[in-house]
Structure 1
Amino acid sequence: MKTGIPISNSPTASEGEVQGTRKLWEQIREMGPAWIISAVACGPATLASVAIAGSTYGYKMLWVVILSAVFGTTAQYLAARVGILEGMGIIAATEKHLGKCWAWILTVDALLATWLAAMVLMNALSGITSLVTGVDTPYWGLMYGILIGLFLVRKGYRKFETLCKLLVIFVVACFVATLFMANLSLPGILGGLIPNLPGGIDAALMMAAIMGGAVHITIIGMHTYNTNARAWTTKDLSLARFDTFSSMGLAFGLYSVAIFLVAAAVLHPNGIVVQKATDAALALRPLLGDNAMKVFMVGLWGATLSTVAPTFMAGAYFLADKMGWALEVKDKRFAAAVFAGCLLSMLGPFVKGSFFLLLPLMLALGLTGTPLILAIILYLLNRTHGTLRNSFLLNCMGGITFLVTSFLAIRFVLTKFGVM
């Protein structure tokens, strides 16, 4: 009879750690769709909104900034689930399960919000270029519209977009570094975590804009197409969750909170209310000194340029999906939809007013069209049978996201018309 230590095929603790590390690195290597969305969310409109809010109201709106990251993460993960489980974009999924009427309503809603965003972003891009070059003309929009359209259709934009995002990362790093130099108020921060509703149209606008930077119909709808472009299936749901949490929860959250806190700590105590891009640049002066303006404007230019292109693509996705066209630039009809967005955006620079103030208004208006897509997504995910149906926790988070965004959107509209 043989005796000895029994042989076990189960992995040891060290082997389990190695497997866990390997799986983590595999997820990091494979993630991507939500990072595209995060890059769009970390654009000039969010920067303008949190900078204006921090400089005007101090720490009072910190709770909105934090919730925007939480709800943005929730909305994007729900969108990823729709794209993966349905195997199609949000417009096609809506038509399949709710009919053509609701599909058309959602398409029009999404296109209005998306093309409005494209016009305001082009206004900002033209305005920034005028500030940097000293040549003040709205015709910068014509040049950018044509060039970006050609780049998108010929797929030559990706490397240039990567450069723009690196510029954005650098500016965000500057804001984070400035945090360590700023005189942050702990009582002010703790007070800002308590929900409060400052009165007036300006406060309602800023709260809706901050939330609209993360929970916006354009990026929610676009994410359903991004997951399909990567051919993700149900086995990739955990990857989608990791992808969304790391990009929207962490990266976007850091971006918006850092800029907001710097504005609240540096600009607000000095009575500097942000009305223009040059005002926001003053927040970096403790770190960069006289170079703050140059660095900020270059980063803002990069943020705007890398945000406007995906906006054109999103509009084309919505229209092409409803019309039954192929969702790629090789299809001439899809390419025409991209150029249609470019042409409309060229009108943006001719709109009068400070582009830095138009950006938050654009997000607030976009938020008013967002509850519809959230409601449709929650419906679609709760009609799925079996284990793939939304969990109770996910439904709670989705429901709270829907209710809070609806409240802020309705409050903005009612305040705008003098009802509140």
Structure 2
Amino acid sequence: MDKVSASNTSLLKKMLAALLAFGPGIFAIGYTIGTGSVTSMIVAGSTYGMQLLWVLLLSSFFSGILMYVYGNYALITGETGLYAFKKHLKYGKLIAILIIIGISFGQWNSLMGILGISSNIIFEIIHIYFPTVGDHQYETVLIIAILVIAIMYGLLMVGRYTFFEKILVVFVTIMAFSFLISLFMVYPLPIQVAKGLVPSIPSVEGGKMMVAAFVGTTMAAATFLSRPLFVQGKGWTIKNLKQQKKDAIIAACLVFFISATIMAVACGALFQSGQPVTKVLDMVEVLEPVAGKFALTLFFFGTLSAGLSSIFPCILIAPILVADYQSGKLDTTSRQFKLITFFACLFALIVPVFGANPIEMQIVSQVFNVFVLPLVIIGILILINNKKSRKLYKTSLLVNLSLLGALFFSCVISYNGVLGLIGYFT
């Protein structure tokens, strides 16, 4: 009996060590799979089934390539993305400033939706077991939102990369297992999964915007630009090139696997019954009769973990980009860092305070994220192929072709995003 107990303890320790050994890719998952991604996957899965699985697959692949390239560039040259843009590119300062404004706008808009959805989810979990709180939904959701953002800001003030990483590992692990267990209870038909790998865009109102939202959340420019600073925070050097590559591949695979799982659960539970999701409460009304309270609670905990894992990186993004532009070094104890993150926390409370529909806000904000993508890809393409970089490291033809593919893909999606937004606001 003691031997079995010792064996289980040893296995648990090994699993924990493996999780904590995960590198900067954990931040990529935090940025990518938040409630923005979860919302997009749920809405897509409930409305279009698995039709957009091909978009997710391509986005995850190109995301992995960009993480790998930005990480490699930082380790080889010692320079971060925006700092290198400013230093080496013609009109680099203007490009860097436009990227900072574009990404910060997109991420802070996402942050509003994330906090709104996370607060609503906590409320729904409480409401499942204590129905009487339903009479005070607005007040309860607002109090929850204030408490959540205050706790997150307090954790940020610890100011250590390793601490941020461990917090994200916990959230992402809970999220992944929650959605995986939910998938065993509610799943789509295999033929739907197969059809989802055939490229097609839903020819209905909102279809183009949903495709753009998919790419905006999965190929988030913030993920790539922040990677050099997180690689630095991890303490990696040019000796860790193989480790950096492995980390990028694992992160991209997990992004696809977790996102596809969420879409599949929504497809299995909601698409079959013809009930698309338009608000958080829809998940309660439809999923509970199909899967029961346990599965519903599990799914909500997964979505909540996704939200909490994204609040961290979303608050961090503006000071990260500013520090990247200024010096290529992030000081999490500086006054500048504390002020920018505090303002971001106040900004996040807009949706809970006004009681807006967080799912609608989240979809629209994800679309805005695609517009800086082409700039971010063009910038790194030029950097890795300039004379200085070629002397230090020769980028393979395959990587260059993959980046060109990512650029073409991002331009097509940005065009779709423009059409989608025009249709949304007219």
Question: Which of 71, 76, 101 is equivalent to 1:108?
Answer: 101
Residue 178 (structure 1) aligns with: 185
Q: Is the counterpart of residue 218 in structure 1 residue 209 in structure 2? A: no
Unaligned stretches of 5+ residues in structure 2: 1-16, 127-132
Q: Is the counterpart of residue 147 in structure 1 residue 140 in structure 2? A: no
* One-letter amino acid of the counterpart of residue 126, structure 1: S
Residue 49 (structure 1) aligns with: 40
Structure with more helix by fraction = 2
Alpha-carbon distance in 1 for matches of 2:52, 2:286? 18
Alpha-carbon distance in 2 for matches of 1:111, 1:382? 28
Residue 189 (structure 1) aligns with: 193
Alpha-carbon distance in 2 for matches of 1:96, 1:39? 29
Contact 2:53 2:196 in 1 (8 A): yes
Residue 116 (structure 2) aligns with: 123
Alpha-carbon distance in 1 for matches of 2:391, 2:18? 26
Residue 421 (structure 2) aligns with: 416
Alpha-carbon distance in 1 for matches of 2:220, 2:247? 18
Q: Is the counterpart of residue 241 in structure 1 residue 262 in structure 2? A: no
* One-letter amino acid of the counterpart of residue 364, structure 1: V
Q: Is the counterpart of residue 62 in structure 1 residue 65 in structure 2? A: no
* One-letter amino acid of the counterpart of residue 321, structure 2: F
Check 1:292–1:190 CA distance in 2 against 1; reply closer, same or farther (3 A cut). Answer: closer
Residue 362 (structure 2) aligns with: 359
Contact 2:182 2:265 in 1 (8 A): yes
Q: Is the counterpart of residue 229 in structure 1 residue 233 in structure 2? A: yes
- Cα displacement string for residues 229-279 of structure 1 (whole angstroms, at most 9, x for unaligned residues): 123223322211111111212x11111112222322332121121222343
Alpha-carbon distance in 1 for matches of 2:93, 2:54? 39
Contact 1:120 1:358 in 2 (8 A): yes
Q: Is the counterpart of residue 311 in structure 1 residue 314 in structure 2? A: yes
- Cα displacement string for residues 290-310 of structure 1 (whole angstroms, at most 9, x for unaligned residues): 323322223322221121011
Check 1:31–1:196 CA distance in 2 against 1; reply closer, same or farther (3 A cut). Answer: same
Q: CA deviation at 1:212?
A: 1.6
Q: CA deviation at 1:220?
A: 1.8
Question: Which of 302, 306, 327 is equivalent to 1:299?
Answer: 302
Give % identity: 22
Contact 1:31 1:240 in 2 (8 A): no
RMSD over aligned Cα atoms:
2.8
Question: Which of 389, 392, 399 is equivalent to 1:394?
Answer: 399
Question: Which of 200, 204, 207 is equivalent to 2:208?
Answer: 204
Contact 1:127 1:136 in 2 (8 A): no
Unaligned stretches of 5+ residues in structure 1: 1-25
* One-letter amino acid of the counterpart of residue 50, structure 1: M
Contact 1:204 1:415 in 2 (8 A): yes
Contact 2:34 2:310 in 1 (8 A): yes
Residue 138 (structure 2) aligns with: 136
If the length of structure 1 is used for normalisation, what is the TM-score?
Answer: 0.84
Check 1:130–1:28 CA distance in 2 against 1; reply closer, same or farther (3 A cut). Answer: closer
Check 1:40–1:111 CA distance in 2 against 1; reply closer, same or farther (3 A cut). Answer: closer
Q: CA deviation at 1:27?
A: 10
Q: Is the counterpart of residue 332 in structure 1 residue 328 in structure 2? A: no
